[in-house]
Amino acid sequence: MLDVLVYLYETYWRPDACPDHAQLTRKLSAVGFESEEIKEALSWLDGLAASANAYQGTQGPHSLRVYSQAELNHLGEPSVGFISFLESAGVLPPPMREMVIDRAMVVPGEPLDLEDLKIIVLMVFWSRGQEPDALILDELFVAPEDRLIH
């Protein structure tokens, strides 16, 4: 499913540039994605659109997030730490943080792989028509061992 999301991010600059689900399903099938994987990705995107509406205005800029035990177990320590890092850097406001957590909780696997969380973060930015700044893109895509230290 996440491979489909990455393909959509790379192919369509914004969600409104995507064709309707039926046409998108045909295009993704033609590219070689499995039908179940496509169905899961489209369902995940529908949930992303719903969460964008659900979390608008529900959190103040100084809100504090307390994770439930189920969230901690599913996300894992590296993912919770990465979300906290993005918040403290001022690039992930509370409504977007909630969208990330909401969408991460429906991805199978426990704990969630940090690389999978990074794709989710990227898709949340994409869904809002925003591109993270270059430093955040570096955090999302460049492995720590490949970074150049100046």
pLDDT tens-place string over residues 38-79: 999 999 999 998 988 877 766 776 778 899 999 999 999 999
Give pTM, 2 decimals.
Answer: 0.86
Q: What is the pLDDT of residues 8-36, one digit of tens each?
A: 998 987 888 889 999 999 999 999 999 99
Distance, in Å, from the CA atom of 107 to the CA atom of 102, rounded to the nearest integer, reads 10
Residue 132: per-residue pLDDT: 76
What is the pLDDT, as a whole number, of residue 134? Answer: 67
What percent of the chain is predicted at pLDDT more than 90? 59
- Checking 111-120 for CB contacts under 8 A at 24+ apart, the result is 111/73, 111/74, 111/75, 111/76, 111/77, 111/78, 111/79, 112/74, 112/75, 112/76, 112/79, 114/76, 114/78, 114/79, 114/82, 116/2, 117/75, 117/79, 117/82, 117/83, 118/82, 119/2, 119/5, 119/6
Mean pLDDT of the chain: 87
Mean pLDDT of 115-144: 80
Six-digit token string for 129: 């028509």
Classify residue 60 by burial, with Cβ atoms within 10 Å: 0-12, 13-18, 19+: exposed
The predicted pLDDT at position 147 comes to: 43
- Of the candidates 33, 112, 2, 26, which has an alpha carbon nearest to the alpha carbon of residue 67? 112
CB atoms within 10 A of CB 142: 11
Enumerate the domain spans of the chain. Answer: 2-146
